[in-house]
Amino acid sequence: MKIGFAGMSHLGIVTSAATAAKGFDVVIYGTPAMISEPGLPELLAVNQSRIKPITNPGALKDCDLVVVSLDVSTDIGNHSDLTGLRQLIAQLPPVATLVILSQVPPGFTRSLKLPNVYYQVETLIFGRAVERALHPERYMIGCANPSAPLPDSYAKWLQAFDCPILPMRYESAELAKISINMFLVSSVATTNTLAEVCEAIGADWNEIAPALRLDKRIGQHAYLSPGLGIAGGNLERDLITVRTLAEQHGTDASIVTAWLANSRYRRDWVLRKLHEHIGEPIAVWGLAYKQDTASTKNSPALALLELLKGFRVQTYDPAVKGTATSALEACADAAVLVVMTPWKEFSSYSAAQLAGKMKGRVVIDPFAMLDGQQLTADGFMYHRVGGE
């Protein structure tokens, strides 16, 4: 069976590789995005023989199934721009079954007015995309008629991944994707709100979070790590989509406005701490919006650098080009060290190593990557979110 992919986004690359890994022949169309994802090089190396790039979308007509996986860009206000997606779909030849995997707002799939089209909810997580593509928790499939069976080719592809398949109407599936992100944002906002209370009253969120995880209503995998608000673009896009829908239909989405405001406030946590310890140069570890990715979209680090124009700043990120060659090199003579992305390698540095490089003794480490107790014992001023 041959499965075509149109739009080689992060999602398209990982999903097509996972599909090839399940033994399907894969055809890919589109310029591949530059991505960094743990496990992906190995997955591609093993399955390269089953993946065939094409340059003409007309060649997709021989596929049993065509999956559209173009990344939907967002503007500065996090509104989706669907122009490119619509153009790509218009270029495709008539196919037996078309699956939209791109992130679209409710109403999009039905508006295509195409036969045999399905919307499949993607739940890609940067940094864990391969693991989730090979072992999905479930598939949510938007259908014109949820009670009708899926086409054989589509069902065969999904069944290869051995997880529950949940058919539903288009709009439900499109909103299900957003619903997942809304629940994640609510956890992030709640965690950050309480983390700040912890900082104010001398409590420690790291002591509270494990207790919450043992509550079945909250769960082991809940987003309970305090940080610098939401970033990356996808969650923000979905919040804006819900707010737009609420404006159109007169529903109450004031909580979304509150989440966005809370996220902006948290993003500036580092700036407020830095203001208490003005000094130059400032070493910044991490530019990516989170660990294990090179993506800097809506990254708190870039937002901080924008505000630090006029200050001498020395940056390092293991995945982002144009930074120092090592974390310690970025610390040379620094007055302050700020850790903006929780890359695992940062936790390997000791207080003594920092003391040997920095001229100042201030470390702002929102994600608690470093040994705060040791740093404090060695005379550093140490700040993290969620505790003293």
Partner 1 sequence: MRTVILGGRGFLGSTLAKRLPDVLLLGSAEVDLIQPTAVEKLRSLIREGDALVFASALTPDKGKDARTAMKNLAMGEHVSAVVESVKFSHIVYISSDAVYADDANPVRETSCASPTTLYGLMHLMRERMILVSAGKTPVMIVRLCAMYGTGDTHNSYGPNRFMRTAVKDRVIQLFGQGEEQRDHLHVNDCARLIELCLKERFIGVLNAATGKAVSFMEVAQMVAAIVGGVEVKGQPRSGPVTHRHFDITEMIKAFPLFQFTPLEDGLRALR
Give the whole-angstrom CA distance, residue 42 versus residue 89.
Answer: 31
Nearer to partner 1, 8 or 274 (CB): 274
Bridge-based pairing of strands 139-143 and 73-74 is: unpaired
Ramachandran bin of 333, using left for φ above 0, alpha for ψ from -120 to 50, beta for the remaining angles = left
- The tally of CA atoms less than 13 A away on the side-chain side of residue 59 is 14
Give the whole-angstrom CA distance, residue 82 versus residue 74.
Answer: 9
Q: Where are the extended beta strands (E) located within the chain?
A: 2-6, 25-29, 51-54, 65-68, 73-74, 80-81, 98-100, 117-120, 139-143, 165-169, 282-285, 313-316, 336-339, 362-364, 381-383
Ramachandran bin of 116, using left for φ above 0, alpha for ψ from -120 to 50, beta for the remaining angles = left
Give the whole-angstrom CA distance, residue 86 versus residue 108.
Answer: 10
Give the whole-angstrom CA distance, residue 316 versus residue 295.
Answer: 14
Give the whole-angstrom CA distance, residue 101 versus residue 61.
Answer: 18
Q: Where are the extended beta strands (E) located within 264-345?
A: 282-285, 313-316, 336-339
Please report how close the Cβ of residue 194 comes to partner 1 at its closest, in angstroms: 16
Nearer to partner 1, 307 or 377 (CB): 307
CB-based contacts of 217, cutoff 8 Å, min separation 6: none
Please report how close the Cβ of residue 289 comes to partner 1 at its closest, in angstroms: 20
Please report how close the Cβ of residue 379 comes to partner 1 at its closest, in angstroms: 23
Please report how close the Cβ of residue 92 comes to partner 1 at its closest, in angstroms: 45
Q: Which residues contact partner 1 (rule: CB under 8 A)?
A: 261, 265, 268, 271-272, 275, 278, 307-308, 310-311
Nearer to partner 1, 162 or 306 (CB): 306
Give the whole-angstrom CA distance, residue 356 versus residue 329.
Answer: 11
Nearer to partner 1, 105 or 366 (CB): 366
Nearer to partner 1, 14 or 194 (CB): 194
Please report how close the Cβ of residue 352 comes to partner 1 at its closest, in angstroms: 31
Please report how close the Cβ of residue 181 comes to partner 1 at its closest, in angstroms: 24
Give the whole-angstrom CA distance, residue 99 versus residue 170.
Answer: 12
Nearer to partner 1, 113 or 275 (CB): 275
Please report how close the Cβ of residue 209 comes to partner 1 at its closest, in angstroms: 24
Answer yes or no: are the C-beta atoms of 354 and 331 closer than 8 Å. yes
Give the whole-angstrom CA distance, residue 31 versus residue 6.
Answer: 10
Nearer to partner 1, 271 or 294 (CB): 271
In the block, tokens 């790509």 appear at 88
Please report how close the Cβ of residue 261 comes to partner 1 at its closest, in angstroms: 8
Nearer to partner 1, 221 or 275 (CB): 275
Indicate the SS3 state at residue 254.
Answer: helix
Please report how close the Cβ of residue 275 comes to partner 1 at its closest, in angstroms: 5
Nearer to partner 1, 161 or 311 (CB): 311
Ramachandran bin of 320, using left for φ above 0, alpha for ψ from -120 to 50, beta for the remaining angles = beta
Nearer to partner 1, 189 or 224 (CB): 189
Please report how close the Cβ of residue 185 comes to partner 1 at its closest, in angstroms: 20
> Which two tokens mark 122?
């993607």
Bridge-based pairing of strands 313-316 and 282-285 is: parallel
